[in-house]
């Protein structure tokens, strides 16, 4: 059995591994003592899928429908989904004294979204240490801030929301609690801590790894530099767009003080990049302009090899650079004293094309099976699931069984990456024996 598993391609091993974890998570949530009421199989399955894909969409209310043991199971699924189950597998193998095979390293490389498996075990160790430190600092700050209000529950709530924020999961436990009618606390300290955790988790493993050792090596790769620039640009655009759209007549921020408007706009620009926390009442009443902006931010998502999803900032920046290069009639993409390979542009185009096809097909299926829903609600929900974001215009609870299946598939797809499922089911690469003469077709 071991040899048969070793022979599976890395993308297929990732798919099967995540499917196995979803099954285990579903069974665990249906055990006695996990919920305050018996969970239906589809509720447990949807919750497990959402947690392991670090999405946050839910057809239950975790704060009231799950016991503290069930919430602990949910937290475990979020953590495994965030750091990657291949990382967990490597840790278990090392604790058991097992060697990590080349196939395992390749699967781990695919799980991280990296280019090559060199030094992968050292990177894994560095990732785990960094994750524990960041989540621990965030939990400590939240505990100190929430202790006067939550009392003895502050410690668990701080740990849960620190992990949920860093993993860009979007699950929260405040909805349904007395005194928190609108869910997540809106105070500036809470939102600042959560925003810091979300941004850290969304930068990506390679970027975090380089930032951790920057004081010693004093250099950043082209990937890290581009990622930081794109993140700043997207956050700035998101903040300005949310503020413009929601501070005018009919917006959800129109009655707030100016400083609060800016803070909430900045937080939702951060959250839209696959974190999924909504910190304003009436989030489903956003103006159409803001809904479109949030959907675009979700679709782009976080950096590659991060806790978030979307087509990733790497794909976005490569496509923008390719467009700029084409308009300038330059033979190759040059940036930061380096040139990008043609294969990188092709992969970015493949990711965009596959993602658009998946989103359009899922949106069409939901519109056909949910005739009462609007295009904005459905498209926003599908993009949120694909980008593993978790924001919703209050449409998740209206999904029927077929709709839940579609959204679960989109969350599953989004967590693995647009090309992983395609690569898992694709035929093995065959050598091209015949080369045909070139011919042009019309474009544009």
Percent of the chain with pLDDT over 70: 84
Assign 240 a pLDDT band (cuts: 50, 70, 90): very high
How high does pLDDT run on average in the chain?
A: 84
Asked if the model's pLDDT at residue 174 lies above 80, the reply is: yes
pLDDT of residue 191: 94
Query: Does residue 43 sit in helix, strand or coil?
Result: helix
Where is average pLDDT lowest: 24-28, 99-103, 225-229, 309-313?
A: 99-103
Of 46, 73, 81, give the one whose Cα is nearest residue 400. 46
257-279 mean pLDDT: 91
Assign 414 a pLDDT band (cuts: 50, 70, 90): confident
Asked if the model's pLDDT at residue 429 lies above 70, the reply is: no
pLDDT of residue 180: 79
Asked if the model's pLDDT at residue 2 lies above 50, the reply is: no
d(CA 36, CA 33): 7
Pairing of the two strands 338-339 and 334-335: antiparallel
pLDDT of residue 426: 54
Asked if the model's pLDDT at residue 347 lies above 90, the reply is: no
Q: pLDDT tens digit string along 106-115? A: 555 555 555 4
Query: Does residue 327 sit in helix, strand or coil?
Result: helix
More confident residue, 24 or 442: 24
More confident residue, 250 or 139: 139
205-232 mean pLDDT: 85
H helices of 151-221, in order, are 154-166, 188-202, 205-212, 214-217
Query: What radius of gyration do the chain's Cα atoms show?
Result: 22
Where is average pLDDT lowest: 3-17, 48-62, 148-162, 212-226?
A: 3-17
Assign 441 a pLDDT band (cuts: 50, 70, 90): confident
Assign 217 a pLDDT band (cuts: 50, 70, 90): confident
Asked if the model's pLDDT at residue 250 lies above 80, the reply is: yes
**Domain spans of the chain?**
2-424
d(CA 89, CA 75): 18
- DSSP letter, residue 279: -
Q: pLDDT tens digit string along 30-87? A: 999 999 999 999 999 999 999 999 899 999 999 899 999 999 999 999 998 887 655 6
**Beta bridge pairs of residue 338:** 335
- DSSP notation for 215-234: HHH----HHHHHHHHHHHHH
- Region of residue 312 (left: phi > 0; alpha: psi -120 to 50; beta: else): left
Structural contact between residues 174 and 180, judged by C-beta atoms closer than 8 angstroms: yes
Assign 362 a pLDDT band (cuts: 50, 70, 90): very high
**Beta bridge pairs of residue 35:** 66
Of 429, 430, 419, give the one whose Cα is nearest residue 11. 419
Asked if the model's pLDDT at residue 9 lies above 80, the reply is: no
Assign 304 a pLDDT band (cuts: 50, 70, 90): confident
How many alpha carbons lie under 13 Å from residue 166 in its C-beta half-sphere? 25
CB atoms within 10 A of CB 116: 9
357-371 mean pLDDT: 96
pLDDT of residue 211: 84
313-334 mean pLDDT: 88
Asked if the model's pLDDT at residue 170 lies above 50, the reply is: yes
d(CA 54, CA 105): 23
More confident residue, 306 or 154: 154
pLDDT of residue 317: 92
Q: pLDDT tens digit string along 159-169? A: 999 999 999 89
Asked if the model's pLDDT at residue 298 lies above 80, the reply is: yes
pLDDT of residue 422: 55
pLDDT of residue 1: 43
């Amino acid at each position: 059995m071991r040899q048969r598993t070793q022979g599976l391609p890395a993308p297929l091993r990732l798919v099967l591994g995540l499917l196995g974890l979803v099954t285990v998570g579903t069974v665990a949530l249906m055990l006695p003592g996990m919920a305050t009421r018996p969970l239906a199989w589809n509720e447990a399955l949807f919750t497990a899928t959402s947690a392991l894909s670090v999405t946050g969409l839910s057809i239950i209310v975790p704060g009231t429908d799950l016991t503290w043991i069930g919430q602990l199971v949910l937290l475990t699924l979020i953590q495994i989904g965030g750091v990657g189950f291949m990382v967990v597998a490597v840790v278990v193998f090392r604790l058991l004294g097992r060697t990590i095979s080349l196939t395992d390293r390749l699967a781990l490389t695919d799980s991280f979204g990296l280019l090559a498996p060199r030094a992968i075990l050292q990177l894994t160790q560095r990732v785990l240490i960094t994750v524990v430190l960041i989540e621990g600092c965030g939990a400590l700050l939240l505990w100190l801030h929430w202790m006067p209000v939550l009392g003895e529950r502050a410690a668990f709530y701080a740990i849960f929301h620190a992990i949920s924020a860093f993993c860009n999961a979007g699950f929260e436990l405040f909805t349904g609690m007395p005194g928190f009618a609108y869910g997540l606390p809106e105070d500036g300290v809470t939102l600042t801590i959560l925003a810091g955790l979300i941004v850290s988790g969304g930068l990506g493993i390679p970027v975090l790894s380089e930032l951790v050792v920057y004081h010693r090596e004093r250099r950043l790769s082209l990937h890290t530099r581009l990622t930081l620039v794109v993140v700043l640009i997207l956050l700035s655009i998101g903040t300005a767009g949310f503020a413009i759209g929601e501070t005018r007549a009919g917006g959800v921020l129109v009655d707030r003080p100016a400083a609060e408007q800016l803070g909430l706009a900045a937080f939702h620009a951060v959250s839209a990049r696959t974190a999924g926390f909504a910190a304003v009442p009436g989030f489903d009443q956003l103006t159409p302009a803001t809904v479109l902006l949030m959907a675009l931010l979700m679709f782009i998502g976080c950096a590659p090899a991060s806790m978030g999803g979307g087509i990733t900032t790497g794909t976005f920046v490569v496509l923008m650079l390719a467009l700029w290069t084409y308009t300038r009639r330059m033979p190759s993409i040059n940036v930061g004293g380096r040139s990008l390979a043609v294969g990188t542009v092709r992969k970015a185009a493949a990711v965009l094309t596959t993602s658009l096809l998946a989103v359009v097909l899922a949106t069409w299926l939901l519109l056909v099976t949910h005739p009462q829903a609007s295009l904005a609600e459905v498209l926003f929900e599908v993009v949120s699931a694909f980008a593993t974001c978790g924001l919703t215009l209050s449409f998740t609870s209206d999904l029927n069984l077929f709709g839940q299946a579609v959204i679960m598939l989109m969350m599953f797809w989004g967590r693995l990456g647009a090309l992983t499922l395609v690569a898992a089911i694709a035929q093995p690469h065959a050598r091209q024996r015949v080369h045909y003469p070139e011919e042009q077709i019309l474009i544009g």
